[in-house]
A and B are shown apart, each in its own frame.
Chain A
Amino acid sequence: MMRFASLGQAALVALVVVYLLAVYLLPSQVWMGFTINALAMSIVALSWNITGGFGGMASFGHAAMYGTGAYASAVLQVQFGVNAWVAFAAGIAAGALMGAFIGALAFRYGVKGSYFALVTLAFAEVLRICASAFEITGAGRGLQLTLQPGVATLQFNNDRVLTYTLLLGIVALVMALTAWLKYSRFGAYLVAVRENEDAARALGIDTYRVKVTAMAISGAFGGLAGAVYLQLWLFIDSSVVYGVSISVTALIGPIIGGAGTVWGPLVGTLGLHLLGEGAKTALHGAPGLNFVLYALVLIAALRFLPQGLMGLAARIGVLGRKGGDDA
C-alpha cells in the first residue's frame, strides 16, 4: 500500500494524512464537519475507482449502488424494525447485488465506453423513479430514521470526534481493501481488461466474470457509502441518494485525484471539497459564483493534470525505480 513512485507522491499522501490528523487538533468545528462530509463522499469515490479507475469502465450512475445501499438499510430499519447493524450490512450486500446485476446485464450485451456510462445513468434514474413511487421506500416522502443516538442504533451524531474517527476507519479499510485488490491476481486481471480486453481474453482470462466481480465489489463499497450517509443524516429521499449529483461526486474525485490509484479518490475528493469551501469563502455573499470558480478550476485541472493530483505528484522527485503512478 505504501509503495510510492516518487517523493512527490509520498509528500502528497503525507500531507493528506497530516491534514486528517490535524482535524482532531483544530479548534474549528467547521473543519471537522466539512471533513466528515468529504470523507463520507470519498467512500463512493473509492467505489467508482474500482470499476472506473482500475477496470476502465467509467460509470455515470454510481448513485444506483449508493442509493440502493441507503434504501436497503433504511427500509429494513424503518419498515421492518431490523437492527441497525444488520441493516447496515444488508445495505452493503444490496449495493453489491445491484452492482453485479447492472454489470451482468450490461456486459452480457457487450455495453462499453460511453454506452456503459449512459446505461448506468439510466439505471440510477429508473431506481430513483421507483424509490419515489413505491410505498415501501416511503414513496415521495422519503424515509426517516428515528433519532436515537447509541451504539445499538449505529447513531453517533452527538459525538463528532467519534463519528469522524469511525469514518476515518471506514475509509482506511476501503483503501486497504483497494490496495489488496490492486496487488492481487484479480487486480492484475482487471487492469489487463482495461488495457486490452481482447488480449486479456486471449490469455484465458474470463473477462466477463472479472468485470462483473469488479462491479459487485464496487457496488459493495457504493452500498457502504449510502448506508453511511443514512446513519449520518438519518433521512433519505430519492433525489438525495439516487440523484445525478451522487454519480458526479463518485467520478469527479478519482479523476481529479488520480483514477486507478489507491490514494487518488481520497486525495481528489478532499481536494475538491477544499476547493469548494475555498471558493465559497472567496466569493461569500455571491451564491452561485462559488460554483463557477469551482468549475473553472476543475476544467483547468482536467487540462493540466491528465493523471490527476497523484499523477502530478508522481512527476516530482522521481525515485530511481520503475513503476509510474504506483500508489
Chain B
Amino acid sequence: MSSLILPAVLNGLTMGAVYALIALGLTLIYGVLHIINFAHGSLLMLGLYAAYFLFHFWGIDPYLAIVIVVPAFFALGYVLQRGIIAPMSAGSEQNVLLVTLALSLVIDNLALYFWTSNTRTADIAYAYDTVEVLGAYLTLGRVIAFFAALLVAGLMWLFMTRTRTGAAIRAVAIEKRGAEIVGIDVGHTYALCFGIGTACVALAACLLLPTFYVTPQVGYTFVLVAFTTVVMGGMGSLPGALVAGLLLGVIEALGGLFLGESLGQLGIFVAFILTLLFRPAGLLGRRPT
C-alpha cells in the first residue's frame, strides 16, 4: 500500500487541477454576485458538448477549440445573467438559487432531448498517453490540465488585481451600493463576472474532454465537488480555489486508497463541513463581514 501513496498523491493532484479549473469560474460568481450557481454543472456539460461537436464534425482538437468555445461561453454567460438570472430572481438570494436550479433543469433536459442520453467520447489518441513523474504514470491530458489550472488562476488573479475592470469587479463584490455611487454599472459588472465564470468553466470543459466522456448528466459528476472547492478556498478567492481544488484531489485520492473508493468520497465532504464550521472564510479567504 505504501508504494501507492506517491502515485496516488500525484494522480490526485492532476484530478484536483480539474476541480480547481471548474471551481475558478464558480468562485468568481460566488464571490462577486454572492449566489450559488447551480447551473454551473450544466454549463460544464454544455461546454463539453460544444468541444465534442467541434471535434466530431470538424475535427477541431479540443485544445484548439478553446479559442472558439471560451469566447462563445463568455457571451452565453453574460446573456444568461443579464437576460434571465438577474431579471427573474428579483433580487432575492433564495430565488437566484432556484432560478439557476431551474435553468440547469432546462439545459440538462434540452441536452437529453436533442443529443440523447448516449455517452460520447472524443477519441484523441495522445490524450491517453502517459507522462512518467517520479515513477508514477500520469495521464498527459491531466498533466496539461494541471499546468493550465496554474496558468489560468494566475492570469485571472492578475486580471482582478491589475486591471481597471478587475478593480471594478472587486469594488462591486465588496460594496455594491458604494460602487454604484461612484458610477460603476453593477448590472454590467455582474453579467461580466458571470460571463468570465462561464468562460472559465468552458475552458475547463475543453481541457477535460480528452480524458473524460459527455452525457447530459455529466455536470452532476463535478458540481458538488466544485462547490466544496469554492467554499474551502474561500468564496471569491481565486488562489484559494486553486489550492483547495488540488488539496481535494489529494484528499480524495488518499481517502480512496485507505477507505475504499466509495467511502473515500467522504473525505471531500468532511473537509467541506469542517471548513464551513471552523474556517467559514475558507483556507485563503477573508472573513465575511
Contact = CB atoms under 8 A, between A and B. Distances in A.
Q: Tell whether any CB of A sits under 8 Å from a CB of B in the complex.
A: yes
Interface of A: 58, 60, 105-106, 108-111, 113-115, 117-119, 121-123, 125-126, 129-130, 132-133, 140, 248, 251-252, 255, 286-292, 294-296, 298-300, 302-303, 306
Contacts of B199: none
Interface in B266-289: 266, 269-270, 272-273, 276-278, 280
Contacts, number: 118
Given A130-B266, A294-B105, A306-B90, A114 B34 contact: yes
A288 B36 contact: no
Given A113-B93, A114-B34, A129-B269, A122 B276 contact: yes
B84 A288 contact: no
Closest 3 CB pairs of A and B: A295-B105, A288-B113, A295-B102
Contact of A115 (B108, B263, B278, B280): B280
B165 interface: no
Contact of B106 (A60, A251, A292, A302): A292
| Max count, chain B CB within 10 A of own CB: residue among A114, A123, A289, A306 | A114
Instruction: Tell me if A's interface is mostly helix, strand, loop or mixed.
Output: helix
Interface string B77-114: 00000001001111011110111011101101110110
B34 A132 contact: no
Nearest to B280: A115
Given A126-B266, A129-B265, A291-B105, A303 B88 contact: yes
Q: Most chain-A Cβ atoms within 10 A of its Cβ — which of B102, B105, B272, B277?
A: B102
B98 A122 contact: no
B188 to A, nearest CB: 21
Interface of B: 34-36, 84, 87-90, 92-95, 97-99, 101-103, 105-106, 108-110, 112-113, 224, 227-228, 231, 260, 262-263, 265-266, 269-270, 272-273, 276-278, 280
Contacts of B90: 302-303, 306
A300 B231 CA distance: 30
Given A109-B278, A114-B36, A119-B276, A302 B266 contact: no
20 contacts: A115-B280, A119-B276, A122-B228, A123-B273, A125-B269, A129-B262, A129-B266, A133-B262, A251-B98, A286-B113, A289-B110, A290-B109, A292-B110, A295-B103, A299-B88, A299-B99, A302-B102, A303-B90, A306-B92, A306-B95
A154 to B, nearest CB: 31
Contacts of B98: 251-252, 255, 298, 302
Contacts of A296: 102, 106
B273 A119 contact: yes
A89 to B, nearest CB: 29
A58 B270 CA distance: 21
A325 to B, nearest CB: 15
Contacts of A113: 93
A58 B92 CA distance: 12
Given A129-B265, A292-B105, 11 more contacts: A114-B97, A115-B276, A115-B280, A119-B273, A287-B113, A289-B110, A291-B109, A295-B106, A299-B99, A306-B92, A306-B95
Contacts of A288: 109-110, 112-113
Contacts of B112: 287-288
Contacts of A133: 260, 262-263, 266
A110 B95 CA distance: 23
A39 B23 CA distance: 38
A117 B36 contact: yes
Nearest to A140: B262
Given A296-B106, A299-B99, A302-B99, A126 B276 contact: no
B277 A106 contact: yes
A109 B278 CA distance: 7
Contacts of A292: 105-106, 109-110, 113
B84 to A, nearest CB: 7
A126 B269 contact: yes
Contact of B87 (A117, A286, A303): A303
Nearest to A300: B88
B218 to A, nearest CB: 15
A296 B106 CA distance: 7
Contact of A126 (B95, B97, B231, B270): B270
Contacts of A255: 94-95, 98
Contact of A302 (B93, B95, B105, B270): B95
A250 to B, nearest CB: 12
Given A122-B276, A140-B262, A302-B95, A289 B113 contact: yes
A291 B101 CA distance: 12
Contact of B231 (A118, A251, A291): A118
Contacts of B95: 255, 302, 306
